[in-house]
């Protein structure tokens, strides 16, 4: 795939060079300032070229320099800052459109004038003769039609990091820019946050994380990274290095690996370390890890000082496609999974797909159970995509940016409709009522969360069939797909302990009064809530066990 090229256009003073450098650092791309390239080729400054050769000769040299820059091979993507008049020259916009994406940084003349009042700045720009605001307004109006043809327009007023973050988010929505982070936005009443999905490992993620941190208002004085022992060994060094390069020195809190970390004792330790570091409500907690770390760090940030800001940096398939999005946080209790927690939405989610390269195969498989869940909820064509590409997805999960973004889009859409799980959001628990019971029966560690969800989805599909709710063949089709992802599909060993399973289900957090809400798939893309009296759960489990033996 050809590296992406992004061209920054705009009036002089719109910040193209500064924004370009920030973008290149955040994306790990190359950066070229076209005016600097022209001066290097000509051995004279732009102002000297204008004065000695005239504007027409300069424009010819500008076009030649542009063509030369784009002929050069680069190993990464390229951010190219154009001169103020480059993009508006005849034919340039059309020529660039076939070679990349153009971003117009829009600034009113008054703002441009404030930025260019310095005599040294004005001396570098030969077209700035006469009244500054009037000249800039005239040039802006003359060039407006051409600038309107840019692929993306961004408000260039404000802090450079905020503008750069807006550019990255906008680029992520364009399929024409391979390699740029896909950008999903979760929009909630009075607030929203981005989910950035893109390639890269810990240092790349750190650069993007630094961009997010710098764009937050108020700007956080301190940052803490909460991670587990395994992620710390594999990736913490790169994350700290990347943050240090951007001027951030985080407080690091390392917790034990595994589901056992979601406990009151570990939570208390996280609180203590953050308080000892004198964290305040303007500071930010970064959850750097899988679902366990995300739940634990999220709950710690939700409750510390009645709430500090949170950024999720997920490192597993499961957390990237599911648990990092939506604001659910919590810890386990002896009576069940995730029974103590809070809704606490992150300020952003930053996904680095190459972090998955160090993931153990079992954890990859576990995360893919949640991907299958989203495909059942959303229906075709997502389910068909998984059926077509199952082996490739399993072998190279770090190459599945569109798939990860699609799962995040589905979850974002549901969360936007029902943030607090009072209705439709419960559909995202497909397979989880059975799955949480299976996890508890296995001692919170004998099976992974994804394995339990896979078994739970099989039982949910079987329940729909037994109760006459589901279409014929759905359970068999689901089982075939799960098996291609090497996930368990035979829950019979747990069904032999039905009395114990029923007891765990009676303590599920979806219990209301004398009933529990199950989520059953009637067909692909048609998933419904179904209430079962707790006293009827043993009978349902008996029927599921009998049906399983028959099949």
CATH number at residue 98: 3.40.50.300
* pLDDT tens digit sequence for 50-85: 889 988 898 899 999 999 998 887 777 899 999 988
Question: Per the domain annotation, does 526 fall within a domain?
Answer: yes
Q: List the one residue out of 169, 232, 181 whose CA is nearest residue 202.
A: 232
Output the DSSP codes for 443-512: TTTSS-HHHHHHHHHHHHHHHHHHTT-SPTTHHHHHHHHHHHTT-----HHHHTTHHHHHHHHHT-TTEE
Question: Per the domain annotation, does 365 fall within a domain?
Answer: no
Among 124, 142, 171, the domain boundary falls at 171
CATH number at residue 307: 3.40.50.1970
Among 110, 137, 171, the domain boundary falls at 171
Among 171, 203, 232, the domain boundary falls at 171
Q: What is the pLDDT of residue 457?
A: 98
Range in 46-55, 342-351, 442-451 the model is least confident about:
46-55
Question: Per the domain annotation, does 386 fall within a domain?
Answer: no
Residues 198 and 274 in one domain: yes
Structural domain range at position 151: 5-171
Q: What is the pLDDT of residue 179?
A: 62
pTM of the prediction? Answer: 0.84
Using CA atoms, how far apart are residues 270 and 254, in angstroms rounded to an integer?
9
Range in 366-370, 482-486, 503-507 the model is least confident about:
503-507
Looking at per-residue pLDDT, the higher value among 549 and 316 belongs to 316
Residues 47 and 157 in one domain: yes
In this prediction, residue 3 has a pLDDT band, given cuts at 50, 70 and 90, of very low
Residues 231 and 159 in one domain: no
Question: Per the domain annotation, does 91 fall within a domain?
Answer: yes
- Give the neighbor-by-neighbor strand order of the sheet with 526-533: 511-512, 515-523, 526-533
- Total structural domains within the chain: 3
The yes-or-no verdict on residue 386 having pLDDT over 50 is yes
CB 518 within 8 A of CB 433: yes
Q: What is the pLDDT of residue 129?
A: 56
In this prediction, residue 135 has a pLDDT band, given cuts at 50, 70 and 90, of confident
* For range 184-211, the mean pLDDT: 90
The yes-or-no verdict on residue 426 having pLDDT over 70 is yes
Residues 311 and 350 in one domain: yes
Question: Per the domain annotation, does 400 fall within a domain?
Answer: no
In this prediction, residue 190 has a pLDDT band, given cuts at 50, 70 and 90, of confident
Residues 207 and 186 in one domain: yes
Q: What is the pLDDT of residue 98?
A: 85
Residues 167 and 188 in one domain: no
CATH number at residue 519: 1.20.1090.10
Residues annotated as catalytic (active site), given as ranges: 306, 328, 370, 411, 421, 425, 429, 432, 436, 449
In this prediction, residue 1 has a pLDDT band, given cuts at 50, 70 and 90, of very low
Question: Per the domain annotation, does 374 fall within a domain?
Answer: no
Q: What is the pLDDT of residue 541?
A: 96
Residues 204 and 166 in one domain: no
The yes-or-no verdict on residue 180 having pLDDT over 70 is no
Question: Per the domain annotation, does 366 fall within a domain?
Answer: no
Q: What is the pLDDT of residue 176?
A: 56
Residues 165 and 186 in one domain: no
Residues 351 and 287 in one domain: yes
In this prediction, residue 159 has a pLDDT band, given cuts at 50, 70 and 90, of confident
Residues 199 and 161 in one domain: no
Residues 233 and 104 in one domain: no
Using CA atoms, how far apart are residues 96 and 5, in angstroms rounded to an integer?
9
Question: Per the domain annotation, does 214 fall within a domain?
Answer: yes
* pLDDT tens digit sequence for 23-37: 988 887 899 999 999
Residues 153 and 190 in one domain: no
């Amino acid at each position: 795939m050809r590296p992406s090229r992004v061209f920054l256009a705009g009036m002089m003073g719109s910040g193209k060079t500064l924004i370009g450098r920030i973008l290149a650092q955040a994306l790990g791309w190359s950066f070229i300032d076209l005016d600097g390239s022209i001066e290097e080729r000509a051995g004279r400054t732009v102002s000297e070229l204008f004065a000695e050769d005239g504007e027409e000769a300069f424009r010819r040299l500008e076009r030649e320099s542009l063509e030369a820059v784009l002929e050069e091979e680069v190993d990464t993507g390229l951010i190219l800052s154009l001169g103020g008049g480059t993009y508006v020259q005849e034919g340039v916009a059309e020529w660039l459109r076939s070679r990349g994406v153009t971003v117009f940084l829009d600034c009113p003349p008054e703002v441009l004038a404030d930025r260019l009042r310095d005599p040294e700045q004005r001396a570098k720009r030969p077209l700035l003769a006469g009244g500054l605001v009037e000249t800039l307004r005239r040039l802006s109006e003359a060039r407006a039609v051409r600038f309107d043809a840019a692929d993306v327009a961004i408000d260039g007023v404000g802090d450079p990091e905020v503008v750069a973050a807006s550019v990255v988010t906008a680029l992520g929505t364009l399929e024409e820019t391979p390699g740029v982070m896909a950008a999903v936005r979760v929009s909630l009443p009075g607030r929203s946050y981005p989910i950035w999905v893109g390639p890269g490992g810990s240092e790349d993620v750190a650069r993007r994380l630094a961009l997010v941190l710098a764009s937050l208002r108020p700007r956080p004085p301190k940052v803490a990274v909460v991670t587990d022992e395994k992620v710390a060994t594999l990736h913490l060094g790169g994350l700290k290095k990347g943050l240090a390069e951007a001027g951030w020195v985080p407080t690091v809190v390392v917790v034990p690996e595994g589901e056992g970390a979601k406990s009151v004792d570990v939570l208390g330790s996280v609180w203590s370390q953050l308080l000892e570091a004198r964290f305040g409500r303007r500071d930010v907690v970064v959850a750097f890890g899988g679902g366990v770390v995300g739940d634990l760090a999220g709950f710690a940030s939700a409750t510390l000082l009645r709430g500090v800001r949170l950024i999720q940096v997920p490192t597993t398939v499961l957390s990237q496609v599911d648990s990092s999005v939506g604001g659910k946080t919590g810890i386990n209790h002896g009576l069940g999974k995730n029974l103590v927690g809070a809704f606490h939405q992150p300020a952003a989610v930053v996904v680095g797909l190459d972090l998955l390269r160090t993931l153990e195969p079992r954890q990859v498989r576990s995360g893919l159970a949640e991907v299958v869940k989203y495909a059942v909820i959303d229906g075709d064509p997502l389910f068909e995509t998984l059926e077509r590409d199952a082996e490739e997805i399993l072998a190279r999960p770090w190459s599945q940016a569109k798939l990860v973004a699609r799962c995040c889009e589905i979850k974002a859409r549901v969360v936007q409709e029902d943030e607090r799980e009072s209705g439709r959001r419960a559909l995202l628990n497909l397979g989880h009522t059975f799955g949480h019971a299976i996890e508890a029966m296995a001692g919170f560690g004998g099976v992974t969360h994804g394995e339990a969800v896979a078994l739970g989805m099989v039982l949910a599909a079987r329940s729909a069939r037994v109760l006459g709710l589901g279409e014929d063949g759905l359970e068999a089709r689901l089982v075939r797909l799960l098996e291609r992802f090497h996930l368990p599909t035979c829950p019979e060993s747990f069904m032999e302990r039905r009395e114990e399973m029923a007891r765990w289900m009676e303590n599920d957090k979806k219990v209301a009064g004398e009933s529990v809400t199950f989520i059953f798939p009637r067909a692909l893309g048609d998933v419904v809530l179904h209430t079962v009296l707790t006293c009827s759960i043993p009978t349902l489990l008996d029927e599921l066990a009998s049906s399983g033996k028959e099949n």
